[in-house]
Amino acid sequence: MRLDRRAFLRAAGAATGAAAVGGIPDIVAAQKAPSFPKGTKLNILEWVSFVPASDVEFKRLAAEFGKLSGVDVTVDLINMNDLNPRIASAIETKSGPDIIMMISNWPHLYADGLADVDDLAEEIASRDGAYYEHNKKVSVVNNRWKAVPLCSVPATWAYREDWFKEAGASKFPDTWDEWRKVGIALKKKNQPMGQAFGHSLGDPNNWAYSVTWGFGGSEIDQSGKVVINSKETIEAVKFTVAVWKDCLDEGGLAWDDSSNNRAYLASTISATINGASIYFVAKRQFPDIAKVTGHAHMPKGPGGRFYSIGGQGRAVMKYSKNQQVAKEFLRWFMDRPQYDKWMAANDGYVVGPTPYWEKHALWEKDPKLAPFKESVKYGRWPGYPGPPTRKASEALVKYILVDMYAQAIKGMKAEDAVKWAESELKKAYA
Amino acid sequence: MADQTIEPILAKSAASGAPAIAAPVVVAVPKSRRPRGLGHLLEQEHILAGALLAPTLVILTLFIAYPFVLGIWLAVSDKVVGRPGNFVGLQNFWVNLNDTIFLRAFQNTFVYTFIATALKLALGMGAALLLNQHFRFKRIVRAGMLLPWIVPTVLSTLAWQWMFDATFSVFNWMLLNVGLISQRILWLGDGTMAMGCLILVNVWRGMPFFAITLLAGLQTVNPDLHEAAEIDGANAWQRYWRVTLPLIKPIMLVVVLFSMIATFADFQLIYVLTRGGPYSSTHVFGTYAYEIAMRAAKLGQGASISLFLFPFLLMVIVFQLWYIRRSD
């Protein structure tokens, strides 16, 4: 579908009322006069993506929307770390961007400052299929959609296929037990795997949550009761302590989120959990490493296979005077022609929020990225199996699960580390 | 003054006991026109003083008093982002005191502040004494000394992060190559070691401020006093202890005061290097308050963590100001 400005303006005519109902195709069909008042502005706040082409394409699409609709669209990109303070100040002062990116369960943190977008979110789901569970869980607060799911940025295992073969594994191990056996062989050859256990935003939590769930443990149950102190969690902690010595690079306690990227690309580790960024950089700068790099799923434990994926969404701010335009932009962006281009620009770094995007051509182009596409089926949210509430956020920012593992690695008994986590979680979930 | 009129007045003889003059003496004196309006008001000292102080008061109220009062209000409320807060008394403080991560942050803040300030003072004094000597390129060395202090903290800390990197640390590379260690040191991988690294970077960054300020103090010491002491037989240490130190003590206390306040409230350096990790062993009030207030959106709880600083900072300020005044 191709729209010039005139057609779009005719189309956008129903924007204040009817337009919200049927999306751009219906707007086009409506063929009514534009009703965005002249001088209407739309400000969007996003993170600076780890894939620069993604930002370029997003800005291009935003400008295209501006051109078609006659709306003055501006996009501000800031570091992910700076989004929280900006959102807090925008909500408290009731001024700022009209649309803000939400990462993981932020819609639950900021629900009171976000406009409902039920109609839009459900319209997209009815067209493209139901959202993945984690995308839905983090976006729906008290049965109201507070953000339109945008994507997931999963982290799978990136590993050296050549080294794994040499260590006797023709493919990446499917269970944690098998994983440990290969890991021991690799570390003996001075090719350990690598995992961060510090306080960086992503990597340490990827292990802490996925492995806890994989062994059958969890922070809370569905009713919100703290149940971390279980034999399953203790097993997960014991396993982590054992593989810390047997399989992993013992620098991990001092790692941040970029340390494993550097270590992998410097060939000092054989595998690590990461987004597709390692592979992208390898393709550009270290083609020999890219050739022998594969991606694989998180191994299965007694409790199953899990990924910690919060997903991302976009929220329309409650204070915004341009909510209708903001929703119109989101409707237009999430429509297939636009989203297709943005997803292509991300080259496999993001996975769409609905199964429809599993059919995107980029997955055929590079089969090495397939595990990213599939990982979202195993995605769980902070606080799983309970809801991803603000209490789950408190547990997350206090790094309770990460520190439970880190303290055990530093010598605390597994049972004591789990007890410590239990007492901290009880306060966070009080 | 051109616009002043002259009017005759009777002038009485001031000379005591002088006989009364029969004829009045007419003297011409300038008659000042009575000031009116704003000019008149400003001639009154208390109004002028108020007018001159008003801008400062407005700025202090808006940017210091209001945020401070708001901070206190937040600390005694259950305010979260997007919702109005309710008064909860001292509940947030009670929660803090039962929070093991907070207690660790509490301890760390004091360890970090006192050790770093003591080291900055000792090294800064040493550097100031050296810089106070005459040598070639003195000015270049003095200017260069300030570099760590003027480079943005985030940038210099990122450089330190590379130097402490678990895999690529230049320190490890050097120590391994000269054979002093046989395996790498995980600078930021252990709580105690990481605290040591944070203190080291803080001292590196803050020491120049001490050195330059103390150097300015040293240069105000009159050389005659040293000469006199030398003639009286005082050795170098005695001259330093009995002459230099008492004279620069006020400036030294001011520097320590400023540094303690800044170090107590440090944030950037720790947030960039460790974010409070590993295992929450390097959190200080600033970093922990940020995590709770911003990333968990609990503004009230976060403010109460920040406000734990206040009584201690107040005590430091009161003590030091009292001490300086007493010395005067």
Distance from CA of A249 to the nearest CA of B (A): 10
| DSSP state string for A161-218 | HHHHHHTT-SS--SBHHHHHHHHHHHHHTT--BB---SS-SSHHHHHHHHHHHHTT--
In-domain check, residue A289? yes
Mind listing the pLDDT tens digit for each residue in B289-322? 999 999 999 999 999 999 987 888 888 888 877 8
In-domain check, residue A377? no
Q: Are residues A252 and A171 in the same domain?
A: yes
Q: Are residues A215 and A342 in the same domain?
A: no
The structural domains of chain B, with segments of one domain joined by +, span 37-75, 91-327
A324 touching chain B per CB within 8 A: no
Mind listing the pLDDT tens digit for each residue in B193-234? 999 999 999 999 999 999 999 999 999 999 999 999 999 999
Q: Residues of A numbered 201-230 whose beta carbons fall under 8 angstroms of chain B's beta carbons: which are they?
A: 204
Task: Nearest chain A residue to B83 by CA: give it.
Answer: A112
User: Tokens 């001639």 appear where?
Assistant: B43
In-domain check, residue A72? yes
- Arithmetic mean of pLDDT over chain B: 87
Least confident residue range of A9-18, A77-86, B162-171, B179-188: A9-18
Which domain does A143 fall in, by range? 5-151+311-367
A149 phi, psi to nearest 5 deg: -55, 135
In-domain check, residue A373? no
A67 phi, psi to nearest 5 deg: -65, -45
| % of chain A surpassing 70 pLDDT | 92
* Three-state secondary-structure class, residue A247: coil
Task: Nearest chain B residue to A400 by CA: give it.
Answer: B279
In-domain check, residue A297? yes
B82 touching chain A per CB within 8 A: yes
Contact between A250 and B186 using a beta-carbon 8 Å cutoff? yes
Contact by Cβ (8 Å): B148, B205: yes
Q: Are residues A246 and A357 in the same domain?
A: no
Q: What span, in angstroms and rounded, lies between the C-alpha atoms of B263 and B256? A: 10
Q: Are residues A13 and A143 in the same domain?
A: yes
Other Cβ atoms within 10 Å of B132 Cβ, number: 18
Q: What is the pLDDT of residue A36?
A: 79
Q: Are residues A238 and A263 in the same domain?
A: yes
Distance from CA of B187 to the nearest CA of A (A): 7
In-domain check, residue A372? no
User: Tokens 């974010």 appear where?
Assistant: B275
Mind listing the pLDDT tens digit for each residue in A106-162? 999 999 999 999 999 999 999 999 999 999 999 999 999 999 999 999 999 999 999
| % of chain A surpassing 90 pLDDT | 89
Q: Which fold has domain B91-327?
A: MetI-like fold (1.10.3720)
Q: What span, in angstroms and rounded, lies between the C-alpha atoms of A241 and A410? A: 9
Q: H helices of B83-145, where? A: 91-97, 100-131, 138-145
Q: Are residues A185 and A325 in the same domain?
A: no
Contact between A88 and B299 using a beta-carbon 8 Å cutoff? yes
Residue B276 carries which side chain, given as an amino acid letter? G
Contact between A259 and B194 using a beta-carbon 8 Å cutoff? no
Distance from CA of A124 to the nearest CA of B (A): 27
Where residue B100 falls among pLDDT bands split at 50, 70, 90?
A: very high
Residue A407: its chain B contacts at CB < 8 A?
A: 279
Q: Are residues A129 and A233 in the same domain?
A: no
Contact by Cβ (8 Å): A381, A414: no
A394 touching chain B per CB within 8 A: yes
Nearest CB among A110, A255, A403 relative to B166 is that of: A255
Q: Are residues A289 and A315 in the same domain?
A: no
Torsion of CA B200, B202, B203, B209, to 10 degrees: 160
- Arithmetic mean of pLDDT over chain A: 92
Q: What span, in angstroms and rounded, lies between the C-alpha atoms of A158 and A274? A: 7
B277 touching chain A per CB within 8 A: yes
A92 touching chain B per CB within 8 A: yes
In-domain check, residue A383? no
Residue B161: its chain A contacts at CB < 8 A?
A: 256
**Domains in chain A, number:** 2
Distance from CA of B115 to the nearest CA of A (A): 23
- A-B CB pairs within 8 A amount to 126
B88 touching chain A per CB within 8 A: no
Mind listing the pLDDT tens digit for each residue in A341-362? 999 999 999 999 999 999 999 9
Residue B165: its chain A contacts at CB < 8 A?
A: 254, 259, 262
Q: Are residues A251 and A345 in the same domain?
A: no
Residue A265 maps to which CATH number? Answer: 3.40.190.10
B182 touching chain A per CB within 8 A: no
- Mean pLDDT over B248-266 rounds to 91
Nearest CB among B99, B164, B297 relative to A390 is that of: B297
B163 touching chain A per CB within 8 A: no
Where residue B162 falls among pLDDT bands split at 50, 70, 90?
A: very high
A111 touching chain B per CB within 8 A: yes
Nearest CB among A85, A410, A423 relative to B294 is that of: A85
Nearest CB among B82, B95, B292 relative to A91 is that of: B82
Contact between B188 and A254 using a beta-carbon 8 Å cutoff? yes
Task: Nearest chain A residue to B273 by CA: give it.
Answer: A256
In-domain check, residue A381? no
Where residue B125 falls among pLDDT bands split at 50, 70, 90?
A: very high
Residue A427: its chain B contacts at CB < 8 A?
A: 95, 98-99
Question: Which value does ipTM take for this structure?
Answer: 0.88
Contact by Cβ (8 Å): B190, A253: yes
